[in-house]
Amino acid sequence: MAHARLSPRQYLILGLVSLCAPLGDTCLSRGMTRIPDITLAHPITLIAAVFTPWIALGIALLIGFFASYLTALSWADLTFVLPATASGNVIVALFARFLLHEAISPERWAGIVLITVGVGFVAQGPSLTERPAAPALVDAADTGKERA
Amino acid sequence: MTTPFPAPQPGFWAATAMIAAIIFASTAGEVLTAAAMKSIGDLDEIRAHSGLKGAIHAVLTCPLFFAGVSFLALAFFALLFALNHMNLSLVAPASASLTLVTNAIAGKIFPKENVDRRRWAAAVLVCIGVYFLAH
């Protein structure tokens, strides 16, 4: 089945994938810049960093991302899900512009347009690769039809 | 309140190695996870038949899923390590945009997905768009 048309619930799951990932990354970045340098000589400090508030919030958002991402991968191709959920970058940029009143350079507007066009491209196509049925299954189905 | 510790930015090759490590681990993890989820089937349908427990059980009893998660965990710690040495505005877009292209290549080779012109165009447009968005 091609699954060319997604249900509203499936769009909601793609929306969750889009939003949780960039917000989670932002929390992680904020958390990691507030702790001392981590070196390969003391890797255990990387584990300790997981329990600081910003990194813990980032991890909670990334768990939400992962659950919705796994659900999306169960009914859509990887090469459909990844570009289709890139709109999260656009949403975060628009959020920064209109709610936080940050300036957006022409390059960033160009990036927003390119991502939007890219997402539009992939969203118009089928979400799942059609695969031919296994010969044994086809034979069984044909036999069933003949009997019927 | 904890004060930030601004670190000196690493050299070109060190930055490249950190970003390459994220991309490799991330691509391997995503391809393995996608293969695992395809082998399990539609999670919405499984949940409708067997409930949330059934869906979680189906995921947690798939060995391929754990192989994928191991690589994704590796990618996560590689990202944390890179974020400790470089700015988010470089690490996130560079790794996210390049991972789109490596995933399109890996998706065509390993799970043999139908990566048609539309998907290639989308991957390249989003890749350039993410780069612009970070500058």
Confidence grade of residue B25 (pLDDT, cut at 50, 70, 90): very high
pLDDT higher than 60, residue A96: yes
Confidence grade of residue A118 (pLDDT, cut at 50, 70, 90): confident
Which positions 10-69 of A are in contact with B (Cβ < 8 Å)?
A: 10, 22, 25-26, 28-29, 32-38, 46, 49, 62
Q: Give how far A30 is from chain B: nearest CA, Å.
A: 9
| Residue of A73, A86, A114 lying closest to B37 (CB–CB) | A73
**pLDDT for res B135:** 66
pLDDT digits 0-9 by tens, B86-114:
877 778 777 877 888 888 888 888 878 88
pLDDT higher than 70, residue B16: yes
Domain boundaries defined on chain B = 12-133
Tokens 């799951």 correspond to what residue? A13
Q: Which residue has the higher pLDDT, A40 or B82?
A: B82
Q: Is the dihedral of CA A7, B102, B35, B113 positive or negative?
A: positive
Interface A–B counts its CB contacts (< 8 A) at 157
**pLDDT for res A148:** 41
B26 with B95: CB under 8 angstroms?
A: yes
User: How many percent of chain B have pLDDT more than 70?
Assistant: 91
pLDDT digits 0-9 by tens, B39-84:
998 888 888 888 888 888 999 999 999 999 999 999 988 988 888 8
Q: Is the dihedral of CA B94, B31, A23, B17 positive or negative?
A: negative
| Residue of B6, B44, B133 lying closest to A93 (CB–CB) | B133
